[in-house]
Structure 1
Amino acid sequence: MVDTSTFENAWLQDYSTLCRGFVFTSPWQSIATQGCFTTLTNPVTDGALLQGNFQQQLRQHFAAAKQQGIENPVVVGAIPFDVNEPAALFIPESSRKFNRADLLAGLPVNHAPLPEVTRRTAVPEHDRFTGMVADAVATIKRGEPEKVVLSRLMDIVTQNPVDSAALMQRVLAQNPNSYHFHLPLPQGGVLLGASPELMIRKQGAAFSSCPLAGSARREKDEASDRASGETLMNSGKDRHEHKLVTDAMRDVLQPRSSQLSVPYTPELITTATLWHLATQIDGTAKDPQDNALSLACLLHPTPALSGFPHQQAMQLIQQLEPFERQLFGGIVGWCDAEGNGEWVVTIRCGTVHGNRVRLFAGAGIVADSQPESEWRETGVKLDTMLRAFGLQ
């Protein structure tokens, strides 16, 4: 029988071993895995349908895992921005829950030198990105869509291969209040990051979500920083962008809920570098078969990741962005056989493969967006990962 008891603190301190599997940390419940029982790589196109192919396949895999002695199997991993692309999900041989505070308290001193960067490349570069934003604004002013999320990448080449465990350790230390993830990828390399945004958390019938839309840069001076947050809260442009997201999520969740609370007014939350407008959504699932992953697939991608209306925004993204997002702008997390789990948005993140690193950031574009401002905002969002390289 596979042991799924809580890790001892001593095991948590064996950090290099921890990062050989999937690691996900949250203030609610953190999880680490070892081994792989089976993979689920089919697209989750119908993942929200409880009797759809994906959910039936998941139930079959959970049943097979239990037959092999895995008492409470979980599915972990990532789903891409485009749900028609293959997923990066698997059921591990063992999984264990732990308290994130224990992990953070036990992090050893990181003596690994910072990676020596030999090249940094913006994809697209400044003029191309601001041109993308200008084109999107012009399209929005013609009436379709109302919002689109445009993103950019930063490609980094280092002198030597990057130690992803050491990089993850710096991300944890610098962003202790985020949701952290470290996922070994099927094609090699890892996806890692510190997301501020909860897509869905489910325990029993109760679920919650906390979408973010609308951002402003933090300031070093306390008074200026507070003023920056207040300006964001009073920004008509950002409040409009945020409302598009929460209204759409309410419309999607309402039919699947016996109770749903979506506050009309957002609140302010902070990361190390940004203020965000956030709305705490709470509800109760109507169907007992709904699980954390089915609800995540129901919501994904929200207008905070694609735009609104979704199909029009997707067409504009495909037209303007000079790359495929793949796992960037997707979701990452876990779901157990009882339906409990947690999924966060795959932002403030990057992939590491040998000596090549790719970082991702996006921004919501509406009719009042200014191209240069959106370039700066995506730059601030990239700072989360660049600080871990000592490059902010």
Structure 2
Amino acid sequence: MPGNVLRWPNPAQAVPERLRQLVAFALLHKLPVALWRLPNATAPQLCLSFSAEAALTGLPPALEATAPAGFTFFPFRDSDHNPALFLPADVLFDAARPNELRVQEAAAGAPDILPQLREYLASSQNTAASSPILPWAVSPQPAPHAATQEEYTALVERGVRAIEKGKVQKVVSSRAARWPLPADFDALAAFTALQERYPRAFVSLVSAPGAGTWLGATPEVLVELTADGRFCTMALAGTQPLPPDHQPQHAIWRQKEIEEQALVARYIVSCFKQLRLREYEETGPRTVVAGELLHLRTDFSVNLRAVPFPTLATDMLRLLHPTSAVGGMPRQAALEFLQKHEGYDRAYYSGFLGPVNLPAPGVTQLFVNLRCFQVRPQEAILYAGTGLTADSDPAKEWQETELKLTTAGAILT
């Protein structure tokens, strides 16, 4: 991305200290900040915006190579309660190049904020950066209701009845759980722990006024544009635990999970058809590992150098979200069912997030915000869902949510 490159004022400073310093500056100035580590990568990256107001978009991002670079954080449903965010990359830090800061000096707010940032980074007295207690953004919305097992059982039973009556083919029910934070909880340390525990996941920490603070380690790609000119997406559904010493290729899938995953894959194909695109590659389904869980996954790819379709990623993003893997099918009927019966606000859970046109124009990786939790002053709000079909068993669906809660929740115990 274009911009001026600044040298880090203290070359001896370790990368975790640099990240903490940048995050502390953003939080102290009530600016939005995002920290992430891509799947199978080792170096985290950070995006900081000079203006909280500039991050409020209300719209999904444009993904063309000519669109702005930044980090998007989009809710399950766009609303005044959960604003759609796009954090312009006014400051970009990549731990792979730890001595560099890429800065947009012409960005909104830069004349006021940039001199303060330079001074802050050069100072050895910024004690806020060395403290584990940072002023993380807190959502202004009340904490959501946490469903009991009886309440979730009733929701699953309603979903199965709706499927049997032909109102929906599939619905993805979910619930929130409220866990106390450890007394010494440090969100940046938790981000590091998630990186170490889930090397194949997209690990993120986002803190922004109006949205609050969210941590997660998601396995699911929503939309990807690669440096070699490919568009990619995936159908990820079906869940079972990964037993110790068990190989993924030995997994046996029930008809319920096979059907659930096939519905998601068929929905992606239907989106291609809506755009009159036939030149795509489909691979799978295959069994993949995500933390302590196994899923079924089908990958889809389009060679954009052979198929000139410059707006494909943007068009597919707007057709896909929310995907049938997090809402259901038909989409509108399933979303109306959830609005009526789910009983809480998902906020940014099962929305999407990720870097856009970073680290270079034409490179974008967006992920479905699963296996995540919201950080509040004394507790974490965790989220988990299950795809329902006519064969769903309420007790097994509850147990599946319990398994999914432990993915991100493992670092809270």
Normalised to the residue count of structure 2, the TM-score between the two structures is 0.75
2:15 is the counterpart of 1:12:
yes
Deviation at 1:288, TM superposition (A): 5.0
2:375 is the counterpart of 1:356:
no
Pairing partner for 1:297 from 318, 328, 331: 318
**Corresponding letter in the other structure for 1:33:** C
2:47 is the counterpart of 1:36:
no
**Corresponding letter in the other structure for 2:39:** P
Q: Tell me: CA distance 1:228–1:55, structure 2 relative to 1, closer, same or farther (3 Å).
A: closer
* Residues 36-71 of structure 1, C-alpha deviations (whole Å, 9 max, x = no match): 356242332xx4xxxxxx749x97xx6xxxxxxxxx
Q: Tell me: CA distance 1:28–1:159, structure 2 relative to 1, closer, same or farther (3 Å).
A: closer
1:158, 1:356 within 8 Å by CA — same for their partners in 2? yes
Distance, in Å, in 1 between the alignment partners of 2:265 and 2:377 is: 39
Q: Does the residue aligned with 1:280 lie in a helix, a strand or coil?
A: strand
Pairing partner for 1:259 from 279, 289, 305: 279
**Structure 1 residue aligned with 2:147:** 124
Q: Does the residue aligned with 1:384 lie in a helix, a strand or coil?
A: helix
What is the count of residue pairs matched by the alignment?
Answer: 348
Q: Tell me: CA distance 1:6–1:83, structure 2 relative to 1, closer, same or farther (3 Å).
A: farther
Distance, in Å, in 1 between the alignment partners of 2:12 and 2:385 is: 37
Alpha-carbon RMSD: 3.3
Q: Does the residue aligned with 2:373 lie in a helix, a strand or coil?
A: strand
Distance, in Å, in 1 between the alignment partners of 2:403 and 2:174 is: 13
Deviation at 1:171, TM superposition (A): 1.6
Percent of aligned positions that are identical: 23
2:268 is the counterpart of 1:284:
no
Pairing partner for 2:233 from 196, 209, 220: 209
Pairing partner for 2:242 from 211, 218, 238: 218
* Residues 263-282 of structure 1, C-alpha deviations (whole Å, 9 max, x = no match): 3x400001221110011111
Normalised to the residue count of structure 1, the TM-score between the two structures is 0.79
Q: Tell me: CA distance 1:36–1:77, structure 2 relative to 1, closer, same or farther (3 Å).
A: farther
**1:1-392 equivalent positions in 2, closer than 5 A:** 2-3=3-4, 12-14=15-17, 15-17=19-21, 19-20=23-24, 21-27=33-39, 31-36=45-50, 39-44=54-59, 47=60, 55=62, 73-83=68-78, 86-99=83-96, 123-158=146-181, 160=183, 162-187=185-210, 189-203=212-226, 205-220=229-244, 222=245, 225-226=246-247, 230-232=251-253, 235-254=254-273, 255=275, 257=277, 259-263=279-283, 265-285=284-304, 286=307, 288-290=309-311, 292-336=313-357, 338-390=361-413
Q: Tell me: CA distance 1:194–1:229, structure 2 relative to 1, closer, same or farther (3 Å).
A: farther
* Residues 235-267 of structure 1, C-alpha deviations (whole Å, 9 max, x = no match): 21111111110111111134264621123x400
Distance, in Å, in 2 between the alignment partners of 1:27 and 1:9 is: 28
Which sections of structure 1, spanning at least 5 residues, go unmatched?
A: 48-53, 63-72, 101-110, 114-119
1:175, 1:272 within 8 Å by CA — same for their partners in 2? yes
* Residues 279-338 of structure 1, C-alpha deviations (whole Å, 9 max, x = no match): 111113455542755543332111001001100100111121111111111001021283
